[in-house]
Chains A and B, each alone.
Chain A
C-alpha cells in the first residue's frame, strides 16, 4: 500500500510541476503586443525558426530605435512566441491563447500555408489582424477574409521567372516536367507553373504529385527521363530539392534546366550538394543580392549582414519576409496613429512601398500584388540573380552543366 501512496505522490508532483508552469503574464503599459505561434519543433521546425528569427530581428531593431510612434507616444514592441509543433490544432489553440489570454494587438502568422489556413480563421473571428509572412497558397486569400495580409506574392507565380528565362533563350527547350509533394503550397506552385508553361508554349510532358514524406524519387525521375523532359521543375521544400538532385545525378539524368522553389536558395542546399548544385535555377521571393532597399533596414545586403551578425546565419526569404511583415505593420500603425484594428487595416490596404524586400502593396484580398519572384541560378556556389533583366547580375549558363 505504501507503493500506491508513493505513486500518487509522484503523480501529484508531476501535476504541481505543470501547474507552476502556468504562471500568468502581466500586461505592461505602452507596449504593442504581437503574438506569433510558429513551428519550432516538428516537420516545419527549420522554416519556423527562420520565420521567428525574422520577426525577432524586426522587433529588436524597432525597439532599439525607440519603438513605434503612435500619435505622439512611442510604444515598445513585445513579441510573444509559442511553438505550434507543426500542428494546426495546436497552432489554432495558441493563436486563441495569444488573443484571449495574452491580449495581443496583432498576430504574426505561422509557417506554412496549411497551418495559416487554420489560424487565420481565428484571427478573422476575433477581428485581429494576421500578417502572414510565409503563407501564400491562393486558397488562403479566396475566402474573403478581412484581417489577413500576406507579404509574399501568390505561390502560383513562384516558378514564373524560370519559365520566362527558358522561353527567352535563343533555342528554347520544349518539354517540361513538373513534380510536387502533396502539400497545399507546393501544389499551388506546381499548378501555377503548369498553366504558365502551357501559356508560354511549352509542352508539359510529365506532371506528378508525390506523398509528402517520400524518401525515394528515383523511379519517378527515371520515368521523367524517359518522357524526354528538358526542363525539370520541382516545387516543395529543401529536402525535396536535395533528394531530386542527388537521385537525378545517380541516374545521370541531365535536364537542360532544373528549377526549384524553396529549396535552391536556402544555403544548406548549396552547402550539402556542393558542385552538384552548379547551374541549378530557382524562383525566389527574395535574396540579399536583389538590391532593394528602404530607410529602415537599409539595403537588402545590409539587412542580411546585420541579420547574420545577430543570428549567425544568412537570412532566407522566410526571415526577410517576416522582418518586412513587421515593418509594414509598423508603417500602418504609425500612419493610422492608433492601434485600432480597423484603422490599421485601412492603412495596410493603402500601403504602396518599396522596401528592402521589394515593392509592396496589398489588394482587397490581402495579397501583395506589387512584388514578384526573381529568377536566379547557382554559379560557382553563389546565388546570381538573373531575372527580371532590370536586376540581373550575370548571364545564364545554359544548358546546366552535366553532373
Chain B
C-alpha cells in the first residue's frame, strides 16, 4: 500500500509541474493554451538531443530547454497571440490549437514518430526503504518539480514583475492604469508558462518514452489539475497534481486501471459543479452563472 502512495506522489510531482505553467497562462491571460502540449514535447526533445549528441545529463539540460522555450513562448505571444487576445477565450484557444498543430507536425517531420528515451547510467535504480521502492530519477524529478514550483511562487509574490503579473490577472484594466504594459506582461507570462512546460518536458524525457505527441496526454492531465487546484493558483496546481497522481494510483489497485481515467474525469466534472473555483482557487475569469 505504501508503494501505491509513493507511486502516486512521484507521478503527482510531474503532473504538478506540467500544470503550473498551463494554469498560470489560463489564470492570468484567460488563454486555454493548447500549445502547452507542444512546449512540453519540445522541452523533452531538447534534452533528448543534448543527451544523445553531446552526452549532456538531462538534468543539466533543463535550463537550456527552459531558456529556448522561453524565447519561443515570448515570440508566439508577441507576434500572434497578443493580436487576438481581445477576441476572448474562444479565439485564443483556436489559435493555440493551430500553433500546436504546427509545432507537433514540424517535430514529426523533423524527428519522425520514433519512440525515444534517455537512459543515463543511473536510470531505473531505486532506493529501498523497508520494502518500498523509491526510484532515484523519479524522486529527483519530484524534488526538482517542487523547487521550481516554489521558486516560481516566490517570483510571483516577491518581485516587481511577479506582482505586475498578479495585478494583471486580477484586473488588467486597473493594472494598465498603474502603468503596467499589459502586452509585455502577457508575453512574459506566456513565455514563463512555456519555460515551465519545457522543464516538465525535460523531466518527462528521463522517466517516460517520448515522441512528437507525448505532450497530449499530459495536457489533458493539466486540464484536470488546473480545475482541481483552481485557475492560476500555484499551490493549487501542486495540490491538484499530487491529488490526481494519488487518485490514479489508488484507482488502479481498487477499481482497476481501466477505470482510473474515468475516475479522474468524473472527479473533474464533480469538482466543477460543486466548487468551480477549485480547491485553492480565487475567481479570475468566468465562474458560476
Contact = CB atoms under 8 A, between A and B. Distances in A.
Contacts of B209: 238-239, 242-243, 272
Interface stretch (A228-236, A248-256, A355-363): A248-256
B153 interface: no
B181 interface: no
A250 B126 contact: yes
Interface in B1-58: 3-4, 7-8, 10-11
A394 B260 CA distance: 42
Interface residues of B, number: 41
Contacts of A213: 216-217
Contacts of B249: 218-219
Nearest to B213: A43
B105 A41 contact: yes
A403 B124 contact: yes
Contacts of A393: none
A268 interface: yes
B23 to A, nearest CB: 20
B130 interface: no
B155 to A, nearest CB: 29
Contacts of A69: none
Contacts, number: 105
Interface string A204-232: 00001111011111111011000000000
B interface majority secondary structure: helix
A interface majority secondary structure: helix
Contacts of B208: 215-216, 243
B269 interface: no
Given A46-B112, A213-B217, A252-B126, A208 B133 contact: no
A78 interface: no
B123 interface: yes
B258 A211 contact: yes
Interface in B107-158: 108, 112-117, 119, 123-124, 126, 128, 133, 135, 137-138
A3 to B, nearest CB: 14
B248 interface: yes
B115 A268 contact: yes
A341 interface: no
B11 A208 contact: no
A238 B114 CA distance: 10
A41 B113 contact: yes
B7 A218 contact: yes
A87 interface: no
Interface residues on A, range: 35 or more
Contacts of A60: none
A49 B112 CA distance: 10
A81 interface: no
Nearest to B116: A272
A268 B114 contact: yes
A140 to B, nearest CB: 23
5 contacts: A208-B257, A211-B260, A219-B252, A250-B133, A403-B124
Given A45-B112, A214-B257, A246-B207, 18 more contacts: A41-B105, A46-B211, A210-B257, A215-B217, A216-B248, A218-B10, A219-B8, A222-B4, A223-B253, A238-B209, A243-B208, A250-B137, A251-B126, A251-B133, A252-B133, A272-B117, A272-B209, A403-B124
The 4 lowest CB-CB distance pairs between A and B, nearest first, are A45-B113, A250-B135, A249-B124, A219-B252
Interface of A: 41-43, 45-46, 49, 182, 208-211, 213-220, 222-223, 238-239, 242-243, 246, 249-252, 268, 272-274, 276, 403
Interface of B: 3-4, 7-8, 10-11, 105, 108, 112-117, 119, 123-124, 126, 128, 133, 135, 137-138, 207-209, 211, 213, 216-218, 248-250, 252-253, 256-258, 260-261
